[in-house]
Structure 1
């Protein structure tokens, strides 16, 4: 390249780079947006720039904003996210189940949505035709989506009913045993009833026992977007003179927060402890007989 051409090229490149920087600055200045969002962790403001989440701000109506939402920019935009339908190479070649010994080893290849849906439809039809609806377990993770119209579980149920039916679970995976047992203990399901408010607990309780629970941690999330109002009441309990106990396999965050007296049990033995306590109360006539009759 001649010296004159080199200088001319460099000048053009510098001008183009400067224009690009100016455009970039314009985009940075004028393309900022603040969008309201909600998920299992709570409600928040997503700060966008050029359609990218750059940060998350706390929503004013959330009593104790969940810091886990600060990870949204990375979790939404992380390069490890699967952006397209992918199929095992041997499965795609056979257009169905093949070489199961390669599971976990086989290469995954990208396919179009049409191909992915055709493969899924083919697999469903073959199993319906061969084994019948009773061979189709039609459940999927409940917390997999928010809302009801496009909720994955509901949509899957609708489709499988159209195809001929499916096997549905009884109760649910979180509180299955409780749904069966509690009606015999308290006369209702209890696990999904409105719980006693912290205000009433603080006003009336002499002692509070946290049995196999860690609400300081678990109240951060909910099946619907939480506003974390419960933490206000939990702080009131902290300020009171009520003695707290924690029955658990370890000293957890809640026990540390309240300075609870810890009753450490071996894993899976807390039910035995309950039965032993009930037996002691019953045989020594230390229970409220009239209350139990009701």
Structure 2
């Protein structure tokens, strides 16, 4: 009898949500999202192609950029099926296993992207603080090792999430407020005590995004101090100009991510539309804008076959 009751209160699916009140405009919204996905995938793929085919770009800063592009591609591909499914086909249902798999990939890729942004900050830090030792510090084997360590960290800290969620009983309508699955939302659908998940989720966020953002901030404090110590204003501005693209990527990633995390945990009375738009911005805008920003700031990416004198350590 208990088994029957358990299955009764554990539906087989979650229900995803688009933008409330805009059901009549789904076809137009789907066109917008399709364009964003096409531009994101093409933009990041082109960057990867240029870096791979142009041997003059096989340098630390472009290798880190290729890591960022791969991560952005992964995030776009992870969210595309459910978002377009809702707006194109009104397909709101997602099974438990598919939902847990999606949130695993979304969160792990977001944490990996945070780590890549930290590595790019370290690249700028070394290039400006100690340019003569740049090539000896950021060797290819060392870059590969750092990338592997941070990728494993992103996967390892998220790996328990699906198993922690699977042990819960879910009751009610199980309607999520986003067009994709997030851990902080799914756990609120449980009819069980979610204290462990909440504490672990907060711990993981502080351990990854929190530490990464802190080290990025400290890196830029030292970068700014070093740049201001240069003899001429021209040298100072030239050094800071090499960081503009990275600063844009950092702001695009961390601003909506932190805002969404705060709203999910503490903003019980906040507008659901605000959460929805922040969620879309955090997942869709960085993969869309990052290729544009870096292409505009790097003449090597704009004209890969006419590199001239390779600058090596500056985003021109």
Which structure has the highest strand share of the two? 1
TM-score greater than 0.5 by the shorter chain: no
Query: Which of the pair has more CA radius of gyration?
Result: 1
Which structure has the highest helix share of the two? 2
TM-score between the two structures when normalised by the length of structure 1: 0.25
TM-score between the two structures when normalised by the length of structure 2: 0.24
